[in-house]
Structure 1
Amino acid sequence: MSAPVLELINVNTYYGKIHALKGVSLTVEQGEIVTLIGSNGAGKTTTLRTISGLLRPRQGDIRLNGVSTLTLPPHKIVEKGVGHVPEGRGIFPALTVLENLEMGAFLVRDSAEIDRRLALVFSIFPRLQERMHQRGGTLSGGEQQMLAIGRALMQLPAILLLDEPSMGLAPLLVEEIFNIIRKLNSEQGTTILLVEQNAQAALQIANRAYVLETGRILMSGPAQELLHDPRIIEAYLGL
């Protein structure tokens, strides 16, 4: 049996003396969408930043395809196949759409390969092709989110980390972004770890879910089971 694409084992991360992640363990298997849900301040973004090497855990291990990444700097973790779409999108507003996407392929030296990856991203996001020479900062919120995801896809990541992709978007755009995430998984085979405040939408598209509260995993299981769990409904779905 092959190792999970991503595995966190008893990860403890601190901000100074603040114990932010307390023994977090989770796995993401090849081809899955796994969602991490929880309230504000639960540690969801901290988990993704720890996976990407932007924060260093004091205890525990993080493995990508069975190999520890703890000693690697963030750019080496990117090389190993972790694509991170941060909260707030983090695009380069002064650069064009094309330049933003090319930044996602900064490790690639073959121009023909970059063109191939651009064609793939434009097939997923035709709107980005239409706005190829437009500055990133002039795009709508939904288009900026597409650009942030497209930039990460230029790496051809082994796993895509998505941090609050629906944040600040109108309901119709939220639906569009979640449809895109579902298609990335079903049509491109992209493995995804999704952090999302909109628990209902996340659970509807995920295979499995973990519930994070004050830095600890409280529950985990098949997403459809958690979607109908009375405790989840009361605490996170507002129903």
Structure 2
Amino acid sequence: MLEIHDIHTYYGSIHALKGVSLKINEKEIVCLIGANGAGKTTTLMSLSGVYRPRRGSITFLGEDITKLASEKIVARGITQVPEGRMIFPRLTVRENLMMGAYLRNDSEGIEADEERAYELFPILAERRRQPGGTLSGGEQQMLAIGRALMARPKLLLLDEPSLGLAPIVVENIFEVIQSINQEGTTVLLVEQNAQMALQIAHRGYVLATGSVQLEGTSADLTANPQVRAAYLGLD
């Protein structure tokens, strides 16, 4: 479904990604793990068109999307849930969800997907008329995921969905991610909670200082002594 080949992305003169390459197959959950500053978020931002790689290529469903604008990438079927949620705090929960469907004009489908968001996250149905800024952190994360799903993505990019959330909320979020994947949506997950990420992912990549250091199935990475020591806190 997706192939990133040897991309180099810069922040000004800072060389953030140094030849990252990875592949994602349809209906997989693939995770990116690594320390802060490893290049995980930059990889997602490069994929979604926020940052444009200076070198390398990104191919999605056979099309080179390396130089496409973000809105055209969304239209192709890639949607991102950003780190920190970044909902619209003054808009209601429902209005936030509708923002996720701004490229669509199929009113019946939009209505059905709104109801699906409420099924996935019942608390959003209760809060649908509340401003997004009044929600708890966990509820805002649910809203951010629901908003992304309103675009009907083929590939969902998730950036640190567990960040700052209580363990019970994290479990709920990860159960929903698995449910979304089982319904056919491919997922690329950036997550500092490596243990949780590897539990639900099919495969993973380990990033360090802007390049891929390791890759493999989740089982292989979980058993890898380097990963266990550095990211799982295990001997």
Please give the TM-score of this superposition, normalised by the length of structure 2.
Answer: 0.97
2:189 aligned with 1:198? no
Amino acid at match of 1:26: L
Q: Residue in 1 aligned with 2:163? A: 167
Q: Residue in 2 aligned with 1:109? A: 105
SS in 1 for 2:53: coil
Instruction: Supply the distance in 1 between the matched residues of 2:40 and 2:165 (Cα, whole angstroms).
Output: 19
Give a deviation string over 1:25-82, Cα, whole Å, max 9, x none.
Answer: 0011110000000000000000000000000101000011110112211110010011
Does structure 1 retain, via aligned residues, the 8 Å contact 2:49–2:69? yes
Query: Where do 4+ consecutive residues of structure 1 move more than 2 Å?
Result: none
Instruction: Supply the distance in 2 between the matched residues of 1:19 and 1:179 (Cα, whole angstroms).
Output: 36
Q: Residue in 1 aligned with 2:62? A: 66
SS in 2 for 1:192: strand
Does structure 1 retain, via aligned residues, the 8 Å contact 2:96–2:147? yes
Q: Residue in 2 aligned with 1:17? A: 13
2:193 aligned with 1:210? no
Long gaps (5+) in structure 1: none
- Percent identity between matched residues is 59
Please give the TM-score of this superposition, normalised by the length of structure 1.
Answer: 0.96
Q: How many residues were matched structurally? A: 234
Q: Residue in 1 aligned with 2:227? A: 232
Displacement of 1:113 in angstroms is 2.1
Which of residues 158, 169, 173 is equivalent to 2:154? 158
Amino acid at match of 1:62: I
Amino acid at match of 1:125: F
Does structure 1 retain, via aligned residues, the 8 Å contact 2:52–2:67? no
Displacement of 1:89 in angstroms is 0.4
Displacement of 1:129 in angstroms is 1.1
Instruction: Supply the distance in 1 between the matched residues of 2:212 and 2:66 (Cα, whole angstroms).
Output: 21
SS in 2 for 1:23: strand
Q: Residue in 2 aligned with 1:31? A: 27
Question: RMSD in angstroms over aligned alpha carbons?
Answer: 0.9
SS in 2 for 1:55: coil
2:90 aligned with 1:94? yes
Amino acid at match of 1:126: P
Q: Residue in 1 aligned with 2:47? A: 51
Long gaps (5+) in structure 2: none
Amino acid at match of 1:25: S
Q: Residue in 2 aligned with 1:182? A: 178
